[in-house]
Amino acid sequence: MAFDYARYIRPGKLPHIWCPGCAHGIVMKAILRAIDRAGLDKDRTVVVSGIGCASRMPGYVDFNTLHTTHGRALGFATGVKMADPGLSVLVVAGDGDALAIGGNHFIHACRRNIDITLVVFNNSIYGMTGGQFSPATPHGMLASTTPYGNPDYAFDVVQLAMGAGATFVSRSTAYHVLPLEKQIAEGIGHKGFAVIDALCTCPTTFGRRNKLGSGAEMLLWFKDHTIGLKASENLPPEKREGKILTGVFRKEVKPEYCEEYGKIIEKVRPARGGRE
Ligand SMILES: Cc1ncc(C[n+]2csc(CCOP(=O)(O)OP(=O)(O)O)c2C)c(N)n1
C-alpha cells in the first residue's frame, strides 16, 4: 500500500522552497517513513532545525516543530528533551548548520549521549545562501567562496561523530532511500545520540558550479561511488579506492544523558529537603 505522506504534511505550508533536483525532499520523505516505521506518536514527537534549506523541513511536517537559529538546533533540542525526556526528539540540519556554526553543539551532543536523533542533510555546500563552501565540501571542489578549488579537507561526519562519542552512527544517501529510512528508524529506536549522515544533492549551487549534471545524475553518482560497509570487508583495497562507505558504523549501549541527569536530581533532592 502506498505510504500516506499526507498524514504527516501541513498542506498550508506548501509549496516548499526546494529547487528542482534538490534531494532534501527525498530525505524528508525517508524521515516521515522512518517516524511511521518507528511507531512514534505525532503529538509526542518534536522536530527541531536551525537555518538553511534543510532547516525548512520542520515547517512542512505536522509534528511539534521548532525552527530556531543557525547552528543552534541541537542546543534547543537538548532543552526540549531535558524538559520532557518522554518526547521523541529529532533534529534536521544542513552540513553547514551541523558542522560549521553548529560544530561545537554537534560534538558536545555526541559526547553527552542525549537521546536525540540527528539527520545531517549533507549536500556538501551552503545551499540557501548561494553555495559557499562548508566543512563537508570535498577538497578541490568549487564553491562561491573557493572559486579556484577548495583548499580544505572535508570532515567525515561518521568519523567525527564516532570520535566525539555518538552511540549510533550511520551513513546513507538520497539514492539509497530504503537503507536511509531503515537507519533513521533505527536511530530513533536507539536510546542515545544517533547521527545519520544523509548524503544528498544540491544541483543549483554545488552541481552546476562543479559540472556534476542534473539532480538525477548527481544521485546516480552516489550509486557508483558508495559501497556498503559489510560488502567492503570482502573486497581488495583497490576495489574500495575512492568509494564512500555506507551503513551502520556504530551501535553501542551506553547510559543516556537525561537518565544520568535524573539520577543526580534524585541524589540532590533529599539533601535539599525535597525541594527542586
Ligand atoms: C548567525 C547566522 N549566520 C549566517 C546565516 C546565513 N545562513 C543562512 S543558511 C546558511 C547556510 C546553510 O547551509 P547548510 O546548513 O549547509 O544548509 P542547506 O541550505 O545547504 O540545506 C547561512 C550561512 C544566518 N542565517 N545566521
pLDDT tens for the 276 residues of the chain, in order: 899 999 999 999 999 999 999 999 999 999 999 999 999 999 999 999 999 999 999 999 999 999 999 999 999 999 999 999 999 999 999 999 999 999 999 999 999 999 999 999 999 999 999 999 999 999 999 999 999 999 999 999 999 999 999 999 999 999 999 999 999 999 999 999 999 999 999 999 999 999 999 999 999 999 999 999 999 999 998 989 999 999 999 999 999 999 999 999 999 988 777 666
Cα 274 to ligand 1 centroid, rounded to whole Å: 45
Cell of 248: 551502520
The CATH number of the domain where 19 resides is what? 3.40.50.970
Return the ligand 1 atom nearest residue 97 CA.
15
Range of the domain at 258: 13-271
Q: Is residue 42 part of a domain?
A: yes
Q: Is residue 7 part of a domain?
A: no
User: Does 128 sit in the ligand 1 pocket, CB within 6 Å?
Assistant: yes
Number of domains in the chain: 1
Averaged confidence pLDDT in the chain = 97
Contact 184, 173 (CB under 8 A): no
Contact 204, 21 (CB under 8 A): yes
| Closest C-alpha residue for ligand 1 atom 9 | 52
User: Three-class SS string for 140-172?
Assistant: CCCECCECCCCCCCCCCHHHHHHHHCCCEEEEE
Q: Is residue 3 part of a domain?
A: no
The 10 Å Cβ neighbour count of residue 62 is 17
User: Does 51 sit in the ligand 1 pocket, CB within 6 Å?
Assistant: yes
Q: For residues 237 and 100, what is the distance between their CA atoms, to the nearest angstrom?
A: 32
Residue with cell 505522506: 5
Return the ligand 1 atom nearest residue 98 CA.
15
Q: Is residue 193 part of a domain?
A: yes
Q: Is residue 6 part of a domain?
A: no
Q: Is residue 112 part of a domain?
A: yes
| Closest C-alpha residue for ligand 1 atom 11 | 126
φ, ψ for residue 182 (rounded to 5)?
-65, -45
Task: Report, in angstroms and rounded to the nearest whole number, the Rg of the chain calculated over CA atoms.
Answer: 19
User: Does 54 sit in the ligand 1 pocket, CB within 6 Å?
Assistant: yes
| Strand ranges for 165-217 from DSSP E | 168-173, 194-199
Cα 4 to ligand 1 centroid, rounded to whole Å: 31
136: left (phi over 0), alpha (psi -120 to 50) or beta: alpha
The 10 Å Cβ neighbour count of residue 132 is 17
The 10 Å Cβ neighbour count of residue 75 is 18
Q: State the pTM of this model.
A: 0.97
**DSSP H or E segment with residue 216:** helix 215-225
